[in-house]
Copies of this chain bind each other. A is one copy, B any other.
Amino acid sequence: MSKSYNAGRHFLQIPGPTNVPDRILRAMDYPTIDHRGPQFSEIGTKCLAGMKTIFKTKSHTVIFPASGTGAWESALVNCLQDGDLVLMVETGHFASLWHKMATRLGIETEFLTTDWRRGVDPQQIEDRLRQDMDQRIKAVCVVHNETSTGSTSRIADVRLAMDNADHTALLLVDTISSLGSIDYRHDEWGVDVTVAGSQKGLMLPPGLSFNAVSEKALALARKGGMRRSYWDWEDQIAANKEGAFPYTPATNLLYGLAEAIDMLHEEGLENVFRRHDRHAAATRKAVQAWGLEVLCQEPKDFSSSLTAVLLPDGYDADAFRAGVLKHFNMSLGNGLSRLAGKVFRIGHLGDFNDLMLLGTLSGVEMGLSKADIPHQKGGVDAAMNILKGD
């Protein structure tokens, strides 16, 4: 840890990794134990069972010592084959990265475009699936919350679209920046594979990733999928029966995960979601007050875990962010690929509360001023009006 001193607590307001609470850091700060011993088995079992309650699934969850990117790969290689056709939706940078990965792995893809300012259009999916008379499409891959744009796709509606089209494709959903922050229901929404990571709504450092897997997906994996070893679900599920893992797990991150699951249930998942909705609403009010534009243009798709903000033409979002970091010790998210320099992203997910949000918005408001970006004052005031309720 670099020790150059900057007074006070850093505001880590990128849309993940999020501010890791002390309880989780401290839970991780214990000696590593024998991952084949009885004490570990209890922790493993608790984490595996607990993740089902977070995914809202009764089928399977697997935990990889890996980044979320690994759980993307796992989702693809277990139940798809080289040459399979997959329908993906280009909601933004991360959907594009997942698409690129699928292509590298030899999957044939169709990539429905968007303007990066909304979630997926369920109707568009339905239309495409209806055309696929011979069910060539093996999977529909959707990012629930697109971290690069702050747009959330309505997964229940995607499910409905697939049902309407009477299509048997698998539904694969990336919830990396939504799980534990935005309502999500693996079973109820008929998702086959959910992809998640530790460092966002789960409030952990990065290093763990997850799949929730339906019986249908698992059955496909059992008889097919690509050549694989590290990412194999079957190996995981077999070992998981004893609370163990097929290879050495990331023990200390699992200590933290057990604590995170407890914390989410102590607050109550519904309360957690409401808290995120409220903070997102307050943030959008602030953006509106500043006279700036929220990138997401579809109110139904506004993200509750982050807000991407467009700067006026000719203003450099990265210079703005650098100023905020320098003057106010706050990290904001950058614009990615086609949005580079044009937007900044405010993460308001994870272990977060009203005063942290208002500190955050204050930093943005002052930063806009210091960077001479045209804006109105009053963003923080507007957010306070939302947050103080009444």
Contact = CB atoms under 8 A, between A and B. Distances in A.
Given A3-B23, A10-B33, A354-B328, A366 B380 contact: no
A68 to B, nearest CB: 7
Interface in A262-305: 263, 266-267, 272, 275
Contacts of A325: 37
Interface stretch (A118-126, A215-223, A224-232): A224-232
A101 interface: yes
Contact of A355 (B30, B68, B69, B362): B362
Given A1-B27, A8-B352, A355-B363, A248 B331 contact: no
Contacts of A67: 65, 230, 247-250
B248 A197 contact: yes
Nearest to A106: B227
A73 B227 CA distance: 12
Nearest to A275: B7
Interface stretch (A13-21, A52-60, A135-143, A154-162): A13-21
A338 interface: no
Contacts of A199: 32, 248
B22 A30 contact: yes
Given A28-B252, A249-B206, A66 B390 contact: no
How many identical subunits does the complex contain? 4
Q: What interface size band does chain A fall in?
A: 35 or more
A241 interface: no
B370 A380 contact: no
Contacts of A82: 227
B363 A39 contact: no
A314 interface: no
A29 B28 contact: yes
A73 B272 CA distance: 38
Interface stretch (A165-173, A183-191, A381-389): A381-389
Given A7-B267, A104-B229, A355-B11, A331 B33 contact: yes
Contact of A358 (B35, B250, B272, B359): B359
A205 B32 contact: yes
A365 interface: yes
A66 B230 contact: yes
A230 B230 CA distance: 11
Nearest to A23: B3
A2 B39 contact: yes
25 contacts: A3-B23, A5-B263, A5-B266, A8-B21, A8-B352, A8-B354, A9-B21, A10-B31, A10-B33, A11-B355, A14-B36, A19-B32, A32-B206, A34-B331, A65-B65, A67-B248, A69-B246, A69-B247, A106-B227, A250-B253, A362-B384, A366-B388, A377-B381, A378-B381, A381-B381
8 closest pairs, A vs B, by CB? A8-B353, A359-B359, A207-B250, A358-B362, A355-B359, A69-B247, A366-B388, A34-B331
Given A5-B267, A11-B355, A206-B249, 12 more contacts: A1-B30, A8-B21, A10-B31, A25-B29, A25-B30, A28-B29, A67-B247, A73-B229, A104-B227, A199-B248, A207-B252, A329-B355
